[in-house]
Amino acid sequence: MLEDYFKEIGQKSYKATQVFEWLYQKNIYDFNLFSNIKQDIIIKMQEDFTNDFISIEKVLEDTDVKKFLFRLNDGEHIEAVLMEHNYGLSLCISSQVGCNMSCKFCESGRFKKKRNLETFEMVEQILLVKDYIEKRIDSVVIMGIGEPFDNYDNVINFIKIINDDKALAIGSRHITVSTCGLVPKIKEFSMLPWQVNLALSLHGATNEVRDKIMPINKVYNLDILIPTIKEYIEKTNRRVTIEYVMLNMVNDREKDAYDLVNLLKNMNIYVNLIPYNETSHLEFKKSSKNRINKFYQILKENNINVTVRREFGGNIKAACGQLRSESDFK
- Residues carrying an active site annotation: 79, 320
Question: What is the identity of the amino acid at 81?
Answer: V
Q: Which is nearer to ligand SAH, 168 or 323 (CB)?
A: 323
**147, 151, 159, 241: which one contacts ligand SAH (CB under 6 A)?**
147
Binding range to ligand SAH, per CB under 6 A, among 22-30, 104-112, 123-131, 166-174: 104-112
274 contributes a contact to ligand SAH by CB under 6 A: yes
Give exposure, 182-219, as e/b (b: 16+ Cβ within 10 Å).
Answer: bbebbeebbeeeeebbbbbbbbbbbeebbeebbbbbee
124 contributes a contact to ligand SAH by CB under 6 A: no
C-alpha distances out from residue 24 to 12, 173, 248, 323, Å: 20, 20, 44, 27
106 contributes a contact to ligand SAH by CB under 6 A: yes
326 within 8 A of 318, measured Cβ to Cβ? no
**236, 320, 324, 325: which one contacts ligand SAH (CB under 6 A)?**
320
93 contributes a contact to ligand SAH by CB under 6 A: no
Coil, helix or strand for 117? coil
Q: Which is nearer to ligand SAH, 201 or 287 (CB)?
A: 201
**119, 154, 179, 287: which one contacts ligand SAH (CB under 6 A)?**
179
197 contributes a contact to ligand SAH by CB under 6 A: no
Helices assigned H by DSSP within the chain: 2-8, 14-20, 39-48, 119-133, 152-163, 183-190, 207-213, 222-236, 254-264, 289-301, 322-326
Name the site residues for ligand SAH (rule: CB under 6 A): 101, 103, 105-107, 143, 147, 178-180, 201, 243, 245, 274, 276-277, 279, 319-320
